[in-house]
């Protein structure tokens, strides 16, 4: 009979007791409709916490809204359309999108079609949201529809020279229900990655649940342009998420072995890390399919402008004002922002940085994105406002990637943020064991570096996509086809536009839709991944010139 394995402490030091309030030290949760998370924000999970903590028996616990089959994607199919009194929102969204690409609203508005739609939004009744609270999928769909309406309204406002010197007002018919339901999901009242990807896709066969490879994400429910490129941009991101479920499973198994930390555990950890590297490469391969399925010019000129949030012009942005609620009520619903005097709320738009998957892999492998002391001191000097409470978020003016990573956490659904917090406070970190065992178990250190090397490759491939979809497009004029869709070219300009040579434009400080200086952030994330390696890193860096 094989002797029973017993847990042994990490070899670096005796295991310390869990800190007070740690998830693992709290009683398990139980279902009660009035419960809330420790943060005070209502839980949207079916397994609520009664003010204590989520059930963390598994990293795939339903309390985290992480599904063993679909990862951070909902385990049940998203609702396709709201009915009843909320139909008016769906009809407004239908009118904004139009029946075909190019027939919907345009960035900057100005046409009769755009103005009539805006007037309809301003006259639309404020619909009660109480009936949505009976269903998490209903709340998710409502948030998707309302944030799309908010972005349509914000970006059909008459254009002004950037940066805009006055805030954009979001009408009460959108802002009041949006600010009411956003805290229930732990999301801000702006379009996020969750709205465009997690809560916005359906599988190939909507009558069956999502799965890879038999029933993958295939269509999106809401879009700004109705283009094939926009749909594939969301769908490919969703396929990456469902592929990430296997990575989360490997991480959970690894953490189980870390509690044992014996010879068998080290052998298993080595296997799991090698498999994790393979899975990260798989996610990167899926990401690269965007080069084939998404038109870069469409993305940059037609799709990306709709993503812009109130902070899109950087620290000098004017922001958005959500009309209809007093300042105190608005502030309590808008957790992830700082507000400058005489400005609106400085929310960021949807960004890949809001995906919890890569954050989870970073935390598991202990890729440190915290700034150096010199960077931290510089960033504090650049802040317009101090961070006065643990729940406050640094303003977008901070010039280091750690601030951006921390800020993007606030744009994830609350259960996913809770998952990442639990993962980051795990009492037996992987890296601690790997470093201590590097000499006695070199295969473990090699497998750990292999996973980091895969993560670095993922970041380099992401860098390549950004180069193609943003940098190259920013350096050239849009084609006549795109100018026509944007309403900026006439028939008589055809010959002139066809003969116009590609012209380099001053790129300046290109910002991502998350509001951060884009390329500095991407480079630093890649370099931080390399720094985490135990052995000497190999292979050249891909860089953007």
Assign residue 304 a region (left: φ > 0; alpha: ψ between -120 and 50; beta: otherwise).
Answer: alpha
**Rounded Cα distance, 414 and 392, in Å:** 15
Centroid of chain to Cα 98 = 27
Q: Which residue has the tokens 């409502």?
A: 142
Q: What angle do CA 521, 195, 393 make, to 5 degrees?
A: 45
**Rounded Cα distance, 363 and 140, in Å:** 27
The CB density around residue 83, as the number of other CB atoms within 10 Å, is 9
**Rounded Cα distance, 450 and 486, in Å:** 46
The CB density around residue 169, as the number of other CB atoms within 10 Å, is 17
Please provide the DSSP assignment of 345-365 as one string: B------GGG-HHHHHHHHHH
Q: What angle do CA 398, 468, 219 make, to 5 degrees?
A: 95
Please provide the DSSP assignment of 233-251 as one string: HHHHHHHHHHHHHHHHHHH
Token pair listed for 298: 């469409």
Burial class of residue 34 in the structure, from the number of CB atoms within 10 Å of its CB (0-12 exposed, 13-18 middle, 19+ buried): exposed
DSSP 8-class letter at 400: S
**Rounded Cα distance, 273 and 448, in Å:** 6
Q: Are 72 and 198 in contact (CB under 8 A)?
A: yes
Token pair listed for 79: 């609702």
The CB density around residue 129, as the number of other CB atoms within 10 Å, is 20
Is 155 one of the annotated binding-site residues? no
Which residue intervals of 109-212 are DSSP H helices? 112-123, 136-155, 172-185, 193
Per the annotation, binding residues are: 462
Per the annotation, binding residues for heme b are: 462
């Amino acid at each position: 009979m094989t002797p029973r394995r017993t847990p042994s402490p990490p070899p670096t030091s005796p295991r310390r007791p869990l800190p007070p309030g740690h998830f693992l030290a709290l009683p398990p949760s139980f279902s009660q409709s009035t419960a809330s998370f420790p943060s005070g924000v209502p839980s949207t999970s079916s397994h609520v916490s009664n003010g204590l903590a989520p059930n963390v028996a598994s990293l795939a616990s339903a309390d985290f809204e992480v599904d063993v089959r679909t990862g951070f994607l909902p385990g049940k199919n998203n609702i396709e359309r709201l009915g009843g009194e909320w139909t008016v929102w769906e009809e407004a969204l239908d009118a904004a999108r139009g029946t075909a690409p190019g027939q919907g609203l345009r960035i900057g508005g100005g046409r009769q079609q755009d103005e009539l739609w805006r007037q309809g939004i301003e006259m639309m009744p404020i619909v009660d949201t109480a009936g949505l609270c009976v269903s998490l999928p209903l709340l998710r769909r409502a948030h998707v529809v309302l944030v799309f309406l908010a972005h349509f309204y914000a970006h059909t406002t008459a254009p002004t020279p950037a940066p805009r010197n006055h805030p954009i007002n979001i009408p009460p018919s959108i802002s009041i229900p949006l600010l009411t339901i956003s805290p229930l999901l732990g999301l801000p009242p702006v379009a996020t990655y969750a709205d465009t990807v997690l809560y916005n896709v359906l599988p190939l066969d909507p009558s069956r649940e999502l799965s890879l490879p038999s029933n993958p994400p295939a269509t999106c429910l809401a879009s700004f342009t109705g283009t094939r490129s926009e749909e594939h941009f969301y769908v490919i991101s969703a396929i990456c998420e469902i592929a990430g479920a296997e990575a989360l499973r490997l991480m959970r198994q690894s953490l189980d072995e870390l509690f044992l930390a014996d010879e068998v555990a080290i052998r298993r950890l080595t296997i799991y890390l090698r498999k994790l590297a393979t899975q990260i490469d798989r996610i990167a391969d899926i990401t690269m399919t965007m080069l084939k399925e998404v038109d870069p010019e469409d993305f940059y000129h037609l799709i990306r402008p709709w993503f812009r949030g109130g902070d899109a012009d950087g620290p000098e942005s004017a922001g958005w004002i959500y009309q209809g609620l007093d300042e105190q009520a608005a502030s309590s619903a808008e957790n992830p922002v700082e507000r400058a005097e005489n400005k609106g709320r400085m929310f960021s738009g949807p960004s890949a940085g809001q995906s919890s998957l890569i954050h989870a892999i970073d935390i598991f492998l202990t890729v440190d994105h915290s700034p150096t002391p010199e960077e931290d001191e510089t960033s504090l000097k650049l802040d317009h406002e101090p961070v006065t409470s643990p729940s406050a978020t640094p303003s977008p003016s901070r010039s280091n990637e750690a601030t951006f990573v921390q800020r993007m956490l606030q744009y994830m659904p609350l259960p996913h943020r809770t998952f990442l917090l639990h993962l980051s406070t795990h009492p037996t970190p992987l890296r601690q064991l790997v470093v201590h065992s590097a000499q006695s178990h070199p295969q473990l250190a090699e497998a750990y570096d292999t996973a980091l090397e895969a993560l670095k490759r993922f970041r380099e491939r992401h860098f390549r996509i950004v180069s193609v979809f943003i940098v190259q497009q920013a350096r050239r004029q849009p084609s006549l086809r795109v100018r026509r869709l944007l309403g900026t070219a006439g028939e008589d300009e055809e010959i002139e536009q066809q003969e116009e040579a590609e012209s380099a434009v001053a790129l300046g400080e290109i910002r991502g839709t998350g509001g951060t200086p884009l390329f500095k952030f991407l480079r630093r994330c890649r370099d931080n991944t390399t720094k985490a390696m135990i052995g000497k890193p190999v292979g050249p860096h891909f860089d953007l010139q």
